Amino acid sequence: MFRKSADPENYLVAESAAMRAVVNAVERHAETDAPVLICGEHGTGRELVARVLHLKSPRRDGRFVAVRPTFDGPDVASQHGEVGDDRCRRALRAAQGGTLLVKDVCDVPAAGQRQLRRAINTPDRGERERDRKHESSGEVFDVRVVGSADLDLERAVQAKILSRDLYEQMVERRIDVPPLRDRGGDIPTLVERWVRHYADEVGRGKLTVSTRAHERLVKYPWPGNVAELKNISRRLVINAQGSRVEAGDVDEILPTVAERVPLEDLSFEEMVKSKLAGFLSRMDGYEVSDLYEKVLERVERPLFDLVMAKTGGNQVKAAEILGLNRNTLRKKLDTLGVGKRGKKARDERALDD
């Protein structure tokens, strides 16, 4: 979370070619009122990109409101008994004249997606007053809608989790934010800025980072992306003994496996371990429960999805491949929502944040 005095643009570091492409896309889309889709892994800084987009737009003097898929957030208080349409309209009202960021737009319920489509279709500002005279029940929203999403958008559309109409409204202006492992040239600057940020917050004065410490940090694969880097930077400020962060300080904090390894050279167990290490490091200070069930669900869903695709939806063949009886398979498919619009709520996304 930024202090109110902090400038988000200071933290959108773009010394790498991958991030320069993001900055160019922000500049290209900033002057329009059209919706934008910001895609990338969790923790890559999608909200930061959205904030910079807002600050560079003609709406910069309006509010920037960020909400979860339930349309709740720090700037939008939830109200008891509201349904999806009501929640969405409340968030749009809160962002009137500014920008509404809907995080993880694929997880927005169907009613909320319909309301977003209507808001995006709102006429331009010159026509709004005239339209109000003809609309007895609908609202006209002066809001720019920005959505964030992970990289499985097309699959979400195919599974009818994300409305194709909403997807097509937003995808023409898509900004892909790269993972931190693909922007090594940005890591030293990001570390310096976050160390300075946290050192200032706790009154430690000027705290620098040694060259060898930077080398350690650049080699680390950052499974938790920039969100993990921020957490590591905060811990370095707290733990460093002198006026400079040394390589030894980094070694005490980073997970044991700190070398970048090609994905194809990692075992499945190592990939899972790396992902969980990033998640657990980001959860310091937060209450975590039901981790076992959540991990199993996220392994089972893609496994069953792939096996069903391989067998063309044949449950007999799928059960044979998986070593399950058909009744067990059917129950699993039903529970996980594989092959249909999932009945199960997708609110629990902590492992992917």
What pLDDT is recorded for position 344? Answer: 36
Euclidean distance between CA atoms 58 and 65, whole angstroms: 16
Lookup: tokens for 71:
């349309």
Task: Tell me, rounded to whole angstroms, the distance of Cα 33 from its chain centroid.
Answer: 22
List, for residues 198-241, the tens digit of each pLDDT value: 999 888 888 999 999 999 999 999 988 999 999 999 999 998 88
More confident call, 121 vs 13: 13
Instruction: Give the residue-averaged pLDDT of 47-69.
Output: 94
Q: Tell whether the model's pLDDT for residue 127 goes beyond 60.
A: no
List, for residues 160-199, the tens digit of each pLDDT value: 899 999 999 999 999 999 999 999 999 999 999 999 999 9
Amino acid at 112: G
Instruction: Give the residue-averaged pLDDT of 244-266.
Output: 73
What pLDDT is recorded for position 273? Answer: 75
Cβ–Cβ < 8 Å for 249, 213:
yes
Q: Tell whether the model's pLDDT for residue 136 goes beyond 50.
A: no
Confidence band for 84, pLDDT divided at 50, 70 and 90: low
Instruction: Give the residue-averaged pLDDT of 286-295.
Output: 74
Which letter, b or e, does each residue of 155-169 get, where b requires 16 or more Cβ atoms within 10 Å of its Cβ?
ebbebebbbeebbeb
Confidence band for 342, pLDDT divided at 50, 70 and 90: very low
Query: Is the whole-model pTM more than 0.75?
Result: no
- Map tokens 């992970």 to a residue: 150
Confidence band for 23, pLDDT divided at 50, 70 and 90: very high
Q: Tell whether the model's pLDDT for residue 130 goes beyond 60.
A: no
In whole angstroms, how far apart are CA 188 and each of 113, 195, 212, 242? 40, 11, 11, 19
Instruction: Count how many Cα atoms sit within 13 Å of the Cα of residue 291 in the half-sphere of its side chain.
Output: 10
